[in-house]
Amino acid sequence: MQVRLFEAREVAGGASGRNGGFALRGGAMPYEHAWAGLWRLTELALDRIEQLAGDAFRRVGSLRLAGDAGERDLLARELELLREDGFDVEWVDPLPAPLGGLFAGAVLYPRDGALQPARWVQRLAARAAAAGAEIVEHTPVRIDELDASTVVVATDGLTAALLPELADHIETRRGQMLATEPLERRLFGRPHYARHGYDYWQQLPDGRLVVGGKRDASFETEATAREETTPLIQERLEALTVELVGELPRITHRWAGVWGETRDRLPLVGRVPGREHVWVAGGYSGHGNVLGFACGDLLAHAILGDSPPELDLFDPARLLTG
């Protein structure tokens, strides 16, 4: 089978090169026993990423913080359920400064990690090219102009432009970020996220702080495919930076990217109903670094004729038929 990848911009030009670099297990939904299989799938994917990514991945764990008592209760319940199912998770008490005064509790997921996302995706693309895939950059395509027996649409937040029938099922969301100059002190040793994921930050190995989120300050304007920053969200990100650092360091970069969100927070991965030769993989709901990698692998197996049972969970037919 000959594989050709068309990319409208360049490899890592989309969300894969613009994201927060959190390499988290699981999906975007709160944990329940029913999701144990999904969580295990992503833990295996994390192990595989660690093998393939070289210095683009650091296994430093991640810290999830509760913004208020309600979220703390939710985290405590998740911790119980995860432990019952055999996953590594630790309650962090007391919280170190400056987190103690800002948050109501936290859990540590020791098996998570931090990615340099653009470098990771470029490495993955280099491996694909070495294995014989042809990568054609700066070439936007439409499905009907492709002469191929199998087409995979892997455009996450931009899926609706190619597959309009999925417009109501994979909705576009914008995320904004900023990066500071390198800080003199190491404040954060691992990715942190808080308030149900609406705030997230990590300090890079060179000392820079990368801060993202605050989408809940303006849901309406952030439901867009325009990869542009806005003053409102950037001001909120600056205010969060001040809370975390104690002052506003020089901001060196600001950017935005888009992802695809589904109502049940499960991605759509599989054959598109009504289009025999077209497959889709997208809708990771802001959680695609590990889940997207795992889903791509499952999809490749399915196209080659296997039937990985894990794919049943993500079958687009659950939304488009019945």
Ligand X SMILES: Cc1cc2nc3c(=O)[nH]c(=O)nc-3n(C[C@H](O)[C@H](O)[C@H](O)COP(=O)(O)OP(=O)(O)OC[C@H]3O[C@@H](n4cnc5c(N)ncnc54)[C@H](O)[C@@H]3O)c2cc1C
Residues making contact with ligand X (CB under 6 A): 6-9, 13-16, 18-22, 24, 140-141, 154-158, 162, 175, 177, 212, 257-259, 282, 284, 286-290, 292
- Min. distance of Cβ 176 from ligand X in angstroms? 6
- Min. distance of Cβ 93 from ligand X in angstroms? 25
Q: Are strands 22-23 and 113-115 parallel, antiparallel or unpaired?
A: antiparallel
Reduced to 3 states, what is the DSSP secondary structure of residue 240?
Answer: helix
- If the CB atoms of residues 18 and 72 are measured against ligand X, the closer one turns out to be 18
- Min. distance of Cβ 290 from ligand X in angstroms? 6
- Among 287, 105, 321, which residue's Cα sits nearest to residue 197? 287
Residue number with the shortest CB distance to ligand X? 288
Long-range contacts of 144-149 (CB under 8 A, 24+ apart): 146/6, 148/4, 148/277, 149/277
- Min. distance of Cβ 229 from ligand X in angstroms? 10
- Min. distance of Cβ 191 from ligand X in angstroms? 7
- If the CB atoms of residues 192 and 271 are measured against ligand X, the closer one turns out to be 192
- Among 196, 198, 319, 192, which residue's Cα sits nearest to residue 266? 319
Per DSSP, the residues of 94-151 read SPPTTTTTT-SEEEEETT-EEE-HHHHHHHHHHHHHHTT-EEE-S----GGG---S-E
Q: How many other C-beta atoms can be found within 10 angstroms of the C-beta atom of residue 153?
A: 21
- Among 320, 300, 291, which residue's Cα sits nearest to residue 131? 300
- Min. distance of Cβ 105 from ligand X in angstroms? 21
- If the CB atoms of residues 24 and 209 are measured against ligand X, the closer one turns out to be 24
Decide if 133 contacts 4 (C-beta within 8 A).
yes
C-alpha to C-alpha distances, 186 to 19, 217, 247, nearest whole angstrom: 21, 29, 15
